[in-house]
Structure 1
Amino acid sequence: MNSNPNLISGDRRWILQIRQTIDEDIEEDDIDFPVSIFNVPTSLVSTKPDCYIPQQVALGPYHHWRPELYEMERFKISAARRYQKQLQDGGLKFEHIVDQLAVFEPRIRACYHKYLDFDGETLIWMMALDASFLIGFLDVYAIENGFVMRFSSRTLRLGDFSCRRFAYDAILRDIVMLENQIPIFLLEKMLEFQFHCLESAQKSLTSMLVGFCKEVSPLRVITDVRQVLHSTHVLGFLYHMIVDPIMLSHNQQEEEEEETRYNFFKGIINGVQRFLERLKHSEPVKLIEKFSPAIVSNVPVVRIFKHHVFKEDKQVLNVDQRDHKPPLTEEISIPSVTDLSKAGFRFSPSAGGIFTINFDANSSVFFLPVLSLDVNTDVVLRNLIAYEACNASGPLILTRYTELMNGIIDTKEDAKLLRERGIMVNRLKNDEEVANLWNGMSRSVRLTKVPFLDKVIEDVNKNYERTLRVRIEKLMKVYVVESWQFLVYILY
């Protein structure tokens, strides 16, 4: 007999939940609350499961029943006790908080893409415990007087001091996993119960999240958090802190301008198409058709019109067949950092957490973020990419950025050069681990075009191909290497 109560009564519980959902008077806002917590696509999980499946602690319902994660339940209970002691109303118990959270059950369920096979009471207790644990963990990263407070007296008791850093890194990685997210409004509600003030709760939560993002982000984060307060969970908050809203608006503006140009040229081409159709039935064209095809086909002008006018089985200038296909893999090819450096390109850090790539005073300057890598970066980036792939309706900006970095970092020599230029802070063991991190980064579930990043790739390739060194190498290959191979073939 299966000892898991979740599986024993699953069918009956499903019926009860459906009845309750239909009969309850649920607010429209709760029904329309957008899905934000997804299952990671199988194509991504299969590449490196440990980066997507929690190893230390389960937060939320997706991995709650995994026995190997039960050990952390005692730390969740300890966090709930500390939270209860911090309640300003001394008579208020943790179970009273759970009762007040029950009204948000429909909204909680709406956040998850997967059906939650839990009864209402179990789900709310689970969420309350997980939220108190997460608040206790994030509180370590709260910014006080401009500094992030880490490993203070408030630190969760996770074993002896020698293992504390290891334990914290393991939990930190679990917290940023897409399948381990809980709705951020629950954290806000828990803090509001604690402070009896929504404004104080929001201020405290923002301080925690900003400090946490500054700690784990491999890229610089924005300073104006007003743009990201609408985030639905911790990973979403981190994503929006990295992917600057200015980039998103810039990209949308470029798409609108491209659409405007397309409509303009489409109008012109449609006019040309109508002219060609009328010309096709005109007397001069009918007269030309009476001549010998061999004579007519040698006339340059006729040769141009032949394809568009005389071909009955082809559409004339069909501009509606625009190339909306995603970019091919070959389109992200770009010389490595070492090759660019040998060709005369310069890499240098700049103000505002960015670095520049430029060839000479007359060439374009390309801006990319400065990197800071540690043992958590691989998991952080992979889950940000998974979230972007599941949640974003537009271009996959962060995904395209990682593809670009994968393109310019091929070997440990590339990583070393960026580190020595101050463009990359490497807290990993060595430069080879950095190269392996980028080269092992999985692609997203779909390719995408991001205009301002694609322009970097295009311009770097264009400038690289024009360098004297590359031109000489190509000439040597054509006139020396290939000629020598031909000579060897003739002699033997």
Structure 2
Amino acid sequence: MASRSVLPFDETQWIIRIRRILDEEIELCDDQPISIFDVPKALLSTKPEAYIPQLVSFGPYHHCREELCDMERYKLSAAKRAQIHLPGMDLQQLVFNFTKLEHRIRAHYHRHLNLSKETLGWMMAIDVSFLLEFLQTLNKNNNERALQMIPSRMSHLVPLFLLHKAIELRSSSAQPAQSVLSSMLIGFFQEVSTFRGLGCPCTDINQHVHLLDFLYSNMVPRCTDKEESSGTTEEAQEESHCKHNHRKRATLNSIMGFLVKRGSKLISVLIDFMAGILLKFVASLPCLSVLSQPIEQLAQATEPSRAPDVQNKNLSPLLEEIAVPSVTELAYAGVKFCPTVGDLSMIDFSSESVTLHLPVIGVDVNSEVVLRNLVAYEASVGTGALKLARYVELMNGIIDTQEDAQLLRECGIILNHLKSDQEVAELWNGMTRSVRLTRVPALDKVIDDLNKHYNSCWKVKIRTFVKVHVLGSKELLGSIVVLLLLLFMGLQVFCVARGCVPAPYRMASRKVGA
């Protein structure tokens, strides 16, 4: 066994650190939940640049990275400009106010902050000053580089109450700090939110701990236990009410499905049996003995073709769980796509009108970063069903190619601000590695209804039957080729016997006779 490298251990520093942690934990409020987490390694390994800040850092987690030190002078400049808005105060006094909130600040972070009280106060004062200035000028400087600095990454956050405290110290009594911060948050939400038509967001800082939580709460409203139980009761009542009406239809569909399945299997067996007999008969003819070896190879090739079916059974169950037809396949089955204004609760599939309702989503250069971090935050908080993660899985399932993205764009569901529809398809296809398998009853019902409608469509059944049992049967294709060959040979013999020889053949005969 390989020997492990022993790191130097400073007992004195370890004891000091443990005592500091214990002192902090005693003074922390028990009702203050942790809200700023490290990105899970399973997600971080897929695309690190989507979770790690690339231009500027906010908060203590990425403060000491060398590649982000170039932006420190901009943050210091913003802190100097902030002193102009502090009547009778300087930056040192802002730091002093933040140091008094040390334990409340530390309570938001999942990882222990190995920083002194003064260092943490200075760090937060500089970051908050820069962030406030950035939010104020966000609407004026609406360009790609500015939007890339938006602190929407999960480990790249500062608590909202610090922004409120700084505004409270800056502003006079004429305009409350809550009103100023609300206007900033509304502008931030309008620029960053991927869903369109959500209306005015809730900007109460008592309900949101940081900017990412503010985004998530307004894009994916959290349902209370009472709402979930009432929704379950209503669904149960509706199901019991419709159960009697659809019982006969379900019975008829099951009988028809059983007959079609058994009938197609019987026809396939008969076709393979007749084709095998025909191929053996043709191969036994003396005049066609040359074709015996290719025919035997063709007959033997049918058995290895079943090997992929066995291998498919060993695939990851994740691929089976999120299996859903693509947009082009659904359109072939007669499904229409309708954009809706609202959040994820508006996703629905109407079997009567055969229409899939999806919320309008804008896709730009920042959409993937925002969605990935929202999904990671949703999984880390773990307060309920992972609705956004399941929505991402649904979009990944129905968007496979450029044509799928184009159809959704033409329907008005996707507002594409990228260069092409191919980039939209690649964005959603890459998101499948950043989510884990989840269960959301409302979205799972939509996926099940889509699969049921697609599998029950007669056009799909006929195409599947032809593809599997006709085009997939090499014996049948070989027998068709042999029959066509025999037909042409018989036609040629008939023409020669009847004297109806083609004109070019007659001219060639005359030249030889001359």
TM-score w.r.t. the length of structure 2 is: 0.69
Aligned partner of residue 358 in structure 2, secondary structure: strand
Asked if residue 458 in structure 1 is aligned to residue 434 in structure 2, the reply is no
The answer to which of 367-376 and 475-484 deviates more is 475-484
Contact 1:395 1:450 in 2 (8 A): yes
Contact 2:396 2:432 in 1 (8 A): no
Q: In the TM superposition, what are the counterparts of 1:132-147 in structure 2 within 5 Å?
A: 132-141=129-138
Read off the aligned partner of 1:176 and give its amino acid letter: S
Contact 1:346 1:357 in 2 (8 A): no
Going from structure 1 to structure 2, the CA distance change for 1:115 and 1:61 (only over 3 Å counts) comes to same
Q: Which residue of 1 aligns with 2:241?
A: none
Asked if residue 371 in structure 1 is aligned to residue 348 in structure 2, the reply is no
Distance 2:27 2:234 in 1: 40
Distance 2:115 2:64 in 1: 11
Contact 1:344 1:359 in 2 (8 A): no
Q: Which one has a bigger Cα radius of gyration?
A: 2
Contact 1:44 1:445 in 2 (8 A): yes
Aligned partner of residue 101 in structure 1, secondary structure: helix
Q: Which residue of 2 aligns with 1:144?
A: none
Distance 2:165 2:174 in 1: 8
Contact 1:222 1:241 in 2 (8 A): no
Distance 1:202 1:10 in 2: 47
Read off the aligned partner of 1:233 and give its amino acid letter: H
Going from structure 1 to structure 2, the CA distance change for 1:189 and 1:197 (only over 3 Å counts) comes to farther
Cα offset for 1:113?
0.9
Going from structure 1 to structure 2, the CA distance change for 1:58 and 1:358 (only over 3 Å counts) comes to closer
Cα offset for 1:46?
0.9
Q: In the TM superposition, what are the counterparts of 1:232-271 in structure 2 within 5 Å?
A: 232-245=209-222, 250-251=227-228, 253-254=230-231
Q: 1:111 aligns with which of 108, 112, 116?
A: 108
Q: 2:388 aligns with which of 395, 398, 417?
A: 398
Asked if residue 203 in structure 1 is aligned to residue 179 in structure 2, the reply is yes
Going from structure 1 to structure 2, the CA distance change for 1:111 and 1:366 (only over 3 Å counts) comes to same
Q: Which residue of 2 aligns with 1:296?
A: none
Read off the aligned partner of 1:244 and give its amino acid letter: P
Q: Deviations over 1:338-369 (max 9, x none)?
A: 11112211113345589877677x24654321
Read off the aligned partner of 1:131 and give its amino acid letter: V
Q: Which residue of 2 aligns with 1:43?
A: 42
Q: Which residue of 1 aligns with 2:255?
A: none
Contact 2:328 2:403 in 1 (8 A): yes
Distance 1:228 1:98 in 2: 21
Going from structure 1 to structure 2, the CA distance change for 1:109 and 1:351 (only over 3 Å counts) comes to closer
Q: How many residues align?
A: 396
Going from structure 1 to structure 2, the CA distance change for 1:199 and 1:15 (only over 3 Å counts) comes to farther
The answer to which of 444-453 and 242-251 deviates more is 242-251
Read off the aligned partner of 1:415 and give its amino acid letter: A
Contact 2:55 2:68 in 1 (8 A): yes
Kindly report the root-mean-square deviation, in angstroms, between the aligned alpha carbons of the 2 structures. 3.4
Aligned partner of residue 111 in structure 2, secondary structure: coil
Cα offset for 1:51?
0.6
The alignment-based identity, stated in percent, is 47
Distance 2:225 2:366 in 1: 26
Aligned partner of residue 347 in structure 1, secondary structure: strand
Distance 2:41 2:343 in 1: 34
Contact 1:222 1:242 in 2 (8 A): no
Cα offset for 1:244?
2.2
Cα offset for 1:419?
1.0
Cα offset for 1:36?
0.7
Distance 2:437 2:450 in 1: 20
Going from structure 1 to structure 2, the CA distance change for 1:189 and 1:14 (only over 3 Å counts) comes to farther
Q: 1:407 aligns with which of 397, 403, 410?
A: 397
The answer to which of 63-72 and 348-357 deviates more is 348-357
Contact 2:132 2:163 in 1 (8 A): yes
Going from structure 1 to structure 2, the CA distance change for 1:422 and 1:134 (only over 3 Å counts) comes to same
Cα offset for 1:442?
3.9
Q: Deviations over 1:218-271 (max 9, x none)?
A: 1133535167751111111111110023598754644688999xxxxxxxxxxx
Distance 1:28 1:441 in 2: 37
Going from structure 1 to structure 2, the CA distance change for 1:56 and 1:252 (only over 3 Å counts) comes to farther
Distance 1:336 1:394 in 2: 28
Distance 1:457 1:247 in 2: 24
The answer to which of 426-435 and 18-27 deviates more is 18-27
Q: 1:223 aligns with which of 200, 215, 222?
A: 200
Going from structure 1 to structure 2, the CA distance change for 1:170 and 1:444 (only over 3 Å counts) comes to closer
Structure 1 stretches lacking a partner, 5+ long: 1-7, 142-148, 152-163, 261-326
Aligned partner of residue 399 in structure 1, secondary structure: helix
Going from structure 1 to structure 2, the CA distance change for 1:228 and 1:188 (only over 3 Å counts) comes to closer
Contact 1:83 1:132 in 2 (8 A): yes
Contact 2:339 2:360 in 1 (8 A): yes
Read off the aligned partner of 2:99 and give its amino acid letter: A
Going from structure 1 to structure 2, the CA distance change for 1:478 and 1:443 (only over 3 Å counts) comes to closer
Aligned partner of residue 337 in structure 2, secondary structure: strand
Asked if residue 102 in structure 1 is aligned to residue 99 in structure 2, the reply is yes
Aligned partner of residue 349 in structure 1, secondary structure: strand
Q: Which residue of 1 aligns with 2:305?
A: none
Cα offset for 1:189?
0.9
Cα offset for 1:392?
2.0
Structure 2 stretches lacking a partner, 5+ long: 1-7, 238-316, 483-514
TM-score w.r.t. the length of structure 1 is: 0.72
Going from structure 1 to structure 2, the CA distance change for 1:259 and 1:126 (only over 3 Å counts) comes to farther
Contact 1:17 1:119 in 2 (8 A): no
Q: In the TM superposition, what are the counterparts of 1:57-72 in structure 2 within 5 Å?
A: 57-72=56-71
Q: Which residue of 1 aligns with 2:143?
A: 165
Distance 1:238 1:11 in 2: 43
